Structure 1
Amino acid sequence: MSDIESPNAQVLTFLFVLLLMSLGYAVHTRRQLHSVARKADRVFAELSTQLSNNQALLRAAVDGIHVLNLKGDVILANEAFARMLGYEQHEVMQLNVLQWDARFDQEDLIANIPMLRGIESTFETQHRRKSGQIIDVEITSVGVDIDSVPLLFCSARDITARKYVEQKLLQAASVFHHSHEGVMIFENDGSLADVNQAFSRVTGYSREEALGHCPPLINAECNDAEICQSIKAALEQSGYWTGETWNLRKNGELYVTHLTVSRVPGISGRVNGLVGVFTDITPLKDHQKQLEKIAHYDPLTRLPNRVLFGERLKLGLLQAMRRDNLVAVVYLDLDGFKAVNDTGGHVAGDQLLVELAGRMKHALRDGDTVARIGGDEFVAILVDLESVEACETVLHRLLQAAAEPVQLATQTHQVSASIGVALYPQDGADADLLLRCADHAMYQAKKTGKNRYHFFNPHTH
């Protein structure tokens, strides 16, 4: 008889002997003995059938069935358990639990086996295969007694793959919740199925407030339906959309995000789901604005500098070309500014420039530009002019703004302006040429008495 059959054969023999002993006391007649013998044959046949069925079940079981004595020795094991550990079945029958359990030490194992008697328990551990490979297993055990011998009936299931998936899910969940970027998972109707901690930190909305609602993104007044249509079209075409959105926090504060929306298969059991990842780039935008101011604005007067003036002049000329109207390029140089520096110092000179810059800006129309290009020199662009007379109205206001006295501390300073003007299209169509013509005309204004404007005349030297 094989090892796998021995305990069941012992049970069968024990039961059969017990049955015969019981029958021996009850037999009084030959007929009764014959009748009992027939019954015993039927019981023996039934027990034999059960033993055969149990052996078949053990062989067919997917889980690793094994029975241990209280010392941890294997007294029964099925083929699945042998395969799980990488041994032949006859080799498994020679093993002790200490030889394959890779988590508990000898003291714990031997001490715990008797404690498992009489109870059913399920726990996880690790087994060491014959090759040395460690696998994760789940054990279900129950204590049984056979022929008054206490045994531990165990079922082992290899859960290595499940533990690997669980670990990956835990890692993904950790990345999701602790990511610095805000992450959103969308339902099919566009509402939020889940958000992470960064989402709440950026938007001000808690997870409970957000779930089931549309995200508080793309909701500021400066966004419109075109962005939503753009996102939808990009998702249908390429599966993702990325761009900037202006949004409102829960407290009403405006902020900017860089948002990427991607279509991801198989999220929450759906065929296709959407995931949004965004970063608050408001500080970056503020920094960019500061850099733009440094690059395009005069640090003293806050007026546009030469670079921004050039860009606006080119744009103004293009618009004038389409609309068929006039553009005036105005070159303004202060008269008497050196005396202010000499008497009041450079601090007084700077204060005067700041005051006059504000006045000149106020003297222009909406759409016009005044810039400081250096020292006490300013230039202006007058756009959408219907006539030369319209230009002259603004020139008079500029002269008046420059000539009004300026009170600085205990002193009053007064300067004036010499202004040169070049007109598009009669004086040229090139921005640099028009600026040179206006500069030339400004010198003519200074020569003829200052505190006046002079239109460019190619015949004047």
Structure 2
Amino acid sequence: MSLSSLRSTSDITPLSGANSLTASETDWQQLCQQVCVTSHALHACFVLFNANEELPHLFYSEHWPLLSEWQTHDYQHILQKNLFYHPLSKPNSTLKNYLAIPIKRGHISGLLLLHFSGNLPTLNEKNKQLLDTFAMHGALLFQANQPKLKHRRVSISRHLIQRFKKVLNQAATPISAFDASGKCVFWNLACERVFGWHSEEMTQHESPICLFYPEETERQLVMKEARALGRSSFKEWHPFNKAGQRLGILCTSISLTEGISLCICHDITEQKKWLKQQHLAPNVFESSYDGIIISDPNHRITHVNPAFTRITGFSAAEVVDRYPYVFKYLLSNPEFYHYLAAQLKVKDHWQGELNSQRKSGEDCALLLAITAVRDHSGNILNHVTVLSDITHLKQHEANLRHQAFHDALTGIPNRLLFSELLERAIYRCQRKQSQLAVCYLDLDGFKAINDNFGHAAGDALLIEISQRLNSRTRACDALARLGGDEFVLLCTEFESREECADILERIQAVIREPVLLEAETVYVSASIGVALYPDDADHAELLLRYADQAMYQAKKQSKDTYVFFDTLNK
């Protein structure tokens, strides 16, 4: 028997010289293709012997390799020796890349012969049962197409399902069957577990696809795609389960006789979720706005993301395989690194702020959150550090704090900050048993200048006076604007009233100096009221009030002078 003796057909061909069969070539094509897809074989061949016939009937997939090397006695030898489910070699070869599955039904016997490209896959009990199902399907298809058995064709598929119902029902893989109208005729336990509907619910439902795809438009698209799909390939579908959850189902369909389709599925829902998470994790790492550092259990850096480079200025090549403390900019105080390492030995999380510097030397503020990642045994696998650049936030906080405690026009402290500075000064004087003076200043002649030259000129005058006073203020003193043309000066560390008076006279002298406004020279002076601690009062509020009263007395006297509060009643 040679290849030239074969009668040419499309994909599946009975051997020329064997008894001619009336089986639909399409049925055998689909069956052989499905066997190959399911078993991962390159080719499949059904070898069937009918009673009282010497030559076998062969039905095989396209390009069945070296068919002429297999002779009838080779097939009979496999049958007689029961060489099934074990690796076989073709005649005159030592490469064992064939596998035989027995076929026996009534007067029909034979085998399903599979050809693989290399080593045979592991044949577990579930795979063995599935291959037995394919072998029995071949026997039934062969039997159905013999003329004298034509009247039994209508019941073959249902009979096949019923015969193997116990095996199929216990299979770990979801297996179901549907007739030509779409009704379910078989629904195994794995289907119940995956989809949620019991077998009775499915087999009694008029249109089960409505359960999987409740929305009409989607259902029509699915049905259209299913009709266009080849029967031999796996396709991913996304039906709903009984709980209303979307599933990921990999499914293929085997066409049986009388329009029945056997569906073999694999639930890949969790696998899809896992793959999505695996895809999401690196995307989060790469696209995170915050910097991320991954280090080993000994704190050696293994990975950094692009945001880390943007924030710190250090590239991945500069930091990977090194320890954080070697970067004098990143950790300006190496002792802080050792403190962190000690903290992470006793707890798995640390969060706090760090004043640092970028690679360029620019100061920055960072918020660090460090977490230890452990395995199931409690051993540390990695440390993950998330660093947020809070420099702008700190700058904004500083600006708000400055605005809350400083005069918007002149930039010097306001009443709120002065009250705090006065409280601190009183506390220091209490400890040192020293004295201080609160000097309340009101500018003489300011209103006339403001009226004649306008508010802009008045503001310019206030700024100039504040700058002069600030330049004459000692480090131990404080200056504030209370509002309008009123200022207050805190003087400390003087030994006597006379020394304080000397300070006031210098202040008055600097205020009297001419001021150039819009090409005009103007002059102002100051009336000053003074209250002393502890002679006049020992509370900040009283000292400020008494100084204000003394200032009004200076205004009444002659202006451009100063008055001590304790002289008011004398």
Do both share a fold (TM > 0.5)? yes
Using the alignment, how far apart are the partners of 2:293 and 2:236 within structure 1?
37
In structure 2, what is the equivalent of residue 118 of structure 1? none
Is 1:84 aligned with 2:193?
no
Encode CA deviations 1:249-308: one digit per residue, 9 max, x unaligned: 3333323233222233249x9625322223222332333233223322112111111111
Match of 1:354 among 463, 475, 481: 463
TM-score w.r.t. length of structure 2: 0.57
| Kept after mapping to 2: 8 A contact 1:58/1:65 | no
In structure 2, what is the equivalent of residue 378 of structure 1? 487
1:372: Cα distance to partner?
Answer: 0.6
* Partner SS, residue 47 of structure 1: coil
Using the alignment, how far apart are the partners of 1:447 and 1:222 within structure 2?
62
The 3 A distance-change label for structure 1 pair 216 and 79 is farther
| Kept after mapping to 1: 8 A contact 2:435/2:493 | yes
1:170: Cα distance to partner?
Answer: 1.6
The 3 A distance-change label for structure 1 pair 138 and 190 is farther
In structure 2, what is the equivalent of residue 278 of structure 1? 387
The 3 A distance-change label for structure 1 pair 401 and 233 is farther
Match of 2:526 among 417, 427, 444: 417
* Partner SS, residue 408 of structure 2: coil
**What are the ranges of 5 or more consecutive residues in structure 2 without an aligned counterpart?**
1-34, 36-44, 57-69, 88-98, 103-121, 142-156, 178-184, 188-208, 210-221, 253-263
Is 1:366 aligned with 2:421?
no
Using the alignment, how far apart are the partners of 1:187 and 1:49 within structure 2?
50
Using the alignment, how far apart are the partners of 1:204 and 1:222 within structure 2?
14
Could you say what the CA RMSD is over the residues aligned between the two structures, in angstroms?
A: 4.9
Encode CA deviations 1:126-184: one digit per residue, 9 max, x unaligned: 69999999555699xxxxxxxxxxxxxxx998755443322212223222222232222
Using the alignment, how far apart are the partners of 1:190 and 1:308 within structure 2?
45
Match of 1:207 among 297, 316, 319: 316
The 3 A distance-change label for structure 1 pair 300 and 208 is same
Paired residues for 1:195-344 under 5 Å:
195-214=304-323, 224=333, 227-228=336-337, 231-232=340-341, 235-236=344-345, 238-266=347-375, 271-344=380-453
Using the alignment, how far apart are the partners of 1:426 and 1:63 within structure 2?
107
The 3 A distance-change label for structure 1 pair 130 and 47 is farther
* Partner SS, residue 465 of structure 2: helix
| Kept after mapping to 2: 8 A contact 1:128/1:135 | yes
1:430: Cα distance to partner?
Answer: 0.8
| Kept after mapping to 2: 8 A contact 1:239/1:263 | yes
The 3 A distance-change label for structure 1 pair 10 and 415 is same
Paired residues for 1:128-139 under 5 Å:
none
Encode CA deviations 1:26-63: one digit per residue, 9 max, x unaligned: xxxxxxxxxxxxxx8x9955737959x98897443679
In structure 1, what is the equivalent of residue 73 of structure 2? 18
1:348 alignment partner AA:
A
1:399: Cα distance to partner?
Answer: 1.5
1:437: Cα distance to partner?
Answer: 1.8
The 3 A distance-change label for structure 1 pair 442 and 84 is same
In structure 2, what is the equivalent of residue 26 of structure 1? none
Is 1:109 aligned with 2:230?
yes
| Kept after mapping to 2: 8 A contact 1:333/1:377 | yes
Encode CA deviations 1:186-210: one digit per residue, 9 max, x unaligned: 2233333222333233333333444
| Kept after mapping to 2: 8 A contact 1:186/1:275 | yes
Using the alignment, how far apart are the partners of 2:416 and 2:506 within structure 1?
25
Using the alignment, how far apart are the partners of 2:537 and 2:326 within structure 1?
49
Using the alignment, how far apart are the partners of 2:354 and 2:366 within structure 1?
5
| Kept after mapping to 2: 8 A contact 1:86/1:129 | no
1:398: Cα distance to partner?
Answer: 1.2
Match of 1:167 among 276, 279, 292: 276
Using the alignment, how far apart are the partners of 2:240 and 2:410 within structure 1?
80
Match of 1:60 among 125, 136, 146: 125
358-367 or 156-165, which moves further after superposition?
Answer: 156-165
| Kept after mapping to 1: 8 A contact 2:444/2:527 | yes
* Partner SS, residue 172 of structure 1: helix
Using the alignment, how far apart are the partners of 1:63 and 1:258 within structure 2?
60
2:534 alignment partner AA:
P
Encode CA deviations 1:329-369: one digit per residue, 9 max, x unaligned: 11111122223224333322221111110010010111321
| Kept after mapping to 2: 8 A contact 1:247/1:254 | yes
Using the alignment, how far apart are the partners of 1:253 and 1:191 within structure 2?
25
1:84: Cα distance to partner?
Answer: 0.8
1:60 alignment partner AA:
E
The 3 A distance-change label for structure 1 pair 50 and 285 is closer
TM-score w.r.t. length of structure 1: 0.69
* Partner SS, residue 553 of structure 2: helix
Is 1:181 aligned with 2:280?
no
Using the alignment, how far apart are the partners of 2:470 and 2:86 within structure 1?
105
Using the alignment, how far apart are the partners of 1:358 and 1:226 within structure 2?
42
- The structure whose RCO (Cα within 8 Å, separation 6+) is larger is 1
* Partner SS, residue 172 of structure 2: helix
In structure 1, what is the equivalent of residue 505 of structure 2? 396
Is 1:457 aligned with 2:512?
no
2:569 alignment partner AA:
T
1:80: Cα distance to partner?
Answer: 11
* Partner SS, residue 309 of structure 2: helix
* Partner SS, residue 198 of structure 1: helix
Encode CA deviations 1:71-110: one digit per residue, 9 max, x unaligned: 999999997994212469x979xxxxxx9x9998455535
The 3 A distance-change label for structure 1 pair 339 and 58 is closer
1:427: Cα distance to partner?
Answer: 2.1
The 3 A distance-change label for structure 1 pair 220 and 249 is closer
The 3 A distance-change label for structure 1 pair 20 and 340 is closer
Is 1:446 aligned with 2:482?
no
